[in-house]
Amino acid sequence: MESDPRQPATLLMAANGTAIDRNQLDAFVDHQMRELQIPGLALAVIGDGRILYTAARGVANLDSGEPLTPESVFEVASLSKPVFAWLVLQQVAAGLIDLDVPLHQYQALPELADDPRHLRIT
């Protein structure tokens, strides 16, 4: 499936401030899929709280050949760990939590009351 044709031609700024054209991004994704033998991927670029770009390429299931769509659901497995870490660090940056404060000070865990080790987990 192609990227959304309703997207503006220039939609992103790279980290170095260079504008990135939607067609360039499409070509880059296609090239990486070929080079790395990626059977399918879905991609969304979000900026300023808006979806700037969506694309889906390849298949969701190698056996059935089911195509990917921007609405395809993926099992996140271990990918949730860095997302959770990012969310925690956002709370640290906002001053809402301190990584050096034991977790039990934020959430009581009565089911662990008999095991004092939980008092040291930060």
Six token digits for residue 118: 């939980």
- DSSP 8-class letter at 96: S
DSSP state letters, 1-15? ----TTS-SEEEE-T
User: Looking up tokens 């309703």, which residue turns up?
Assistant: 6
Decide if 12 contacts 20 (C-beta within 8 A): yes
* Active-site annotation, residues: 78
Decide if 2 contacts 54 (C-beta within 8 A): no
In a 3-state reduction of DSSP, which class is residue 91?
helix
